[in-house]
Amino acid sequence: MYFYTKRLNRYPLLTDNHGRPVNYLRLAVTDRCNLRCFYCMPEHGLDWLSRAELMSYEEMLRVSSLLVKMGIQKIRITGGEPFVRKDIMQLLTALSKLDGLDELSITTNGVLTAPFIPELKKIGVRSVNLSLDTLDSGRFFSITRRDEFDMVMNTLHQLLKQDIEVKINAVVMAGQNTQDIIPMVELTKELPVSVRFIEEMPFNGDSHVYTGLPWDHLRILEEIRDGFPGIQKLIDPAHSTSYNYHVPGHKGDVGIIAAYSRTFCGTCNRIRITPQGTLKNCLYDDGVLNIRDVMRKGITNEELEKVLTNAFNHRPQDGYEAERSRIEKTGVHESMATIGG
Ligand code: SAM
């Protein structure tokens, strides 16, 4: 049952039909991206959404503000690439002022990010997830199809200089970057970053059938243990999607995210809104409601809260349940850029 309980006398604790708290929104602000990571989208890009199809900043702010009142405590801005959307700082600044929001963070590929870092710091962004799958510029080019490695590395160093916490997201792909696993763990020796290795997921905008994953979380861990036999398990924070580790003497940490194996659904606390306003209860589902459409039809906040409440009362138990119903409907693996990865 969906119900409210009081949270520090401020806003309610939002809970889903499986008793899981729902307190984390991932809001994708655009489907456009300035990289073409082959595991995310085709080389020619996607059929980009028109401006009218995208949610406006006003619409994003309205629904975010309502969700924060309902119990959302953390918002992550993602995409596509958030920094390719015009005037993104306007939205970030407005979101940072929402009363009751504990944390605003961003996932970015780091290409255009560096000049915005002082402003991000100023509005209170404390943590940024930076996507970087390799430390080799040649492999970076073959994975992303763009020559932007130096820009991303510059963003990494600028973020650290401003004392913004950095989590590096590296998708592990057979035959592409598994030789980067050890060097990326090495990076945590001198830099206070958390390097998180992510299982590759079937979200690349095609209809290719996935039949298992050669580099799953267990194999990734085995590889890391071979290189760093002294690595220690850390206690994972509540709702963490990563299994976390630390190499003694290193400044940073290591995480492994079983995104394909879906071992973390039991504590899932997150919902997603895509750039065109689709509410997703799960990364793997087909969308449960179009918030943009109902807002444009003139729904009141009271009615919208009811509709959202109903959606949270029908969350799938796990990503397998969600995926079954989506693939039955579409047969296609969406691009991560249209989902809000
Ligand atoms: N453009 C931003 C970025 O690159 O961080 C945000 C959007 S991107 C879709 C968000 C994250 O999704 C990135 O870390 C990316 O590596 C990850 N991602 C995209 N496709 C994926 C896939 N098929 N499997 C696993 N992770 C994926």
CA of 341 to the centre of ligand 1 (A): 5
Higher local confidence (pLDDT), 281 or 284 = 281
Tell me the mean pLDDT in the region 107-129.
Answer: 98
- Segments in 32-148 forming alpha helices (H): 57-70, 88-96, 117-123, 137-144
Q: Is the pLDDT of residue 93 over 90?
A: yes
For residue 107 and ligand 1, the question of a CB distance below 6 A is answered with: yes
Tell me the mean pLDDT in the region 87-103.
Answer: 97
Tokens read off for 320: 């397998």
Index of the ligand 1 atom closest to the CA of residue 130: 5
Distances (CA, A) of 292 to 54, 100, 102, 341: 8, 23, 25, 19
CA of 9 to the centre of ligand 1 (A): 36
Distances (CA, A) of 49 to 86, 244, 272: 14, 37, 18
Q: Please tell me the residue having the least CA distance from ligand 1 atom 1.
A: 81
Any idea what DSSP says for residue 89?
Answer: H
What does the pLDDT read at residue 205? 66
> What pLDDT band is residue 3 in, cutting at 50, 70 and 90?
very low
Closest CA to 210 of 199, 201, 219: 201
Give the pLDDT confidence of 25-69 residue by residue, as tens digits. Answer: 999 999 999 999 999 999 999 999 999 999 999 999 999 999 999
Q: Please tell me the residue having the least CA distance from ligand 1 atom 4.
A: 109
> What pLDDT band is residue 154 in, cutting at 50, 70 and 90?
very high
Tokens read off for 232: 């220690």
What does the pLDDT read at residue 266? 84
> What pLDDT band is residue 13 in, cutting at 50, 70 and 90?
confident
CB 170 within 8 A of CB 198: yes
What does the pLDDT read at residue 211? 64
Give the pLDDT confidence of 169-211 residue by residue, as tens digits. Answer: 999 999 999 999 999 999 999 999 999 999 998 777 665 555 6
Q: How far apart are CA 160 and CA 120, in angstroms?
A: 13
> What pLDDT band is residue 330 in, cutting at 50, 70 and 90?
low
CA of 17 to the centre of ligand 1 (A): 28
Q: Which of 176-180, 262-266, 277-281 has the lowest mean pLDDT?
A: 262-266
What percent of the chain clears pLDDT 70, i.e. is strictly above it?
91
Q: Please tell me the residue having the least CA distance from ligand 1 atom 20.
A: 40
For residue 40 and ligand 1, the question of a CB distance below 6 A is answered with: yes
For residue 33 and ligand 1, the question of a CB distance below 6 A is answered with: yes
What does the pLDDT read at residue 4? 40
Q: Is the pLDDT of residue 279 over 80?
A: yes
Q: How far apart are CA 66 and CA 308, in angstroms?
A: 10
Q: Is the pLDDT of residue 6 over 50?
A: no
Q: How far apart are CA 232 and CA 217, in angstroms?
A: 16
Q: How far apart are CA 252 and CA 185, in angstroms?
A: 9
CA of 297 to the centre of ligand 1 (A): 32
What does the pLDDT read at residue 2? 41
Distances (CA, A) of 5 to 13, 253, 336: 5, 34, 34
For residue 176 and ligand 1, the question of a CB distance below 6 A is answered with: no
What percent of the chain clears pLDDT 90, i.e. is strictly above it?
79
- SS3 category, 27: strand
Closest CA to 245 of 230, 258, 260: 230
Q: Is the pLDDT of residue 322 over 90?
A: no
Q: Is the pLDDT of residue 304 over 60?
A: yes
What does the pLDDT read at residue 1? 37
Q: Which H/E stretch holds residue 98?
A: none
CA dihedral 47, 167, 150, 146 (to 10 degrees): -20
> What pLDDT band is residue 329 in, cutting at 50, 70 and 90?
low
Closest CA to 269 of 58, 18, 12, 43: 18
Out of 35, 131, 335, mutate this one to test ligand 1's pocket (max ligand atoms within 8 Å of CB): namely 131
Give the rounded distance of the alpha carbon of 96 from its chain centre. 18
57-74 burial code (b ≥16 CB/10 A, e <16): bebbbbbbbbbbbbbbbb
Tell me the mean pLDDT in the region 221-248.
Answer: 95
What does the pLDDT read at residue 286? 85
Index of the ligand 1 atom closest to the CA of residue 79: 7
Closest CA to 2 of 334, 335, 305, 241: 305
Tell me the mean pLDDT in the region 78-87.
Answer: 97
Tell me the mean pLDDT in the region 257-264.
Answer: 86
Angle CA 266–129–164, to nearest 5: 120
Tell me the mean pLDDT in the region 257-275.
Answer: 90
Tell me the mean pLDDT in the region 138-155.
Answer: 98
What's the half-sphere exposure (Cβ side, CA atoms, 13 Å) at 155? 26
Q: What burial class does residue 104 get, using C-beta atoms within 10 Å of its C-beta: 0-12 exposed, 13-18 middle, 19+ buried? A: buried
Cα-Cα end-to-end distance for the chain: 28
What does the pLDDT read at residue 47? 93
What does the pLDDT read at residue 283? 86
Give the mean pLDDT of the chain. Answer: 92
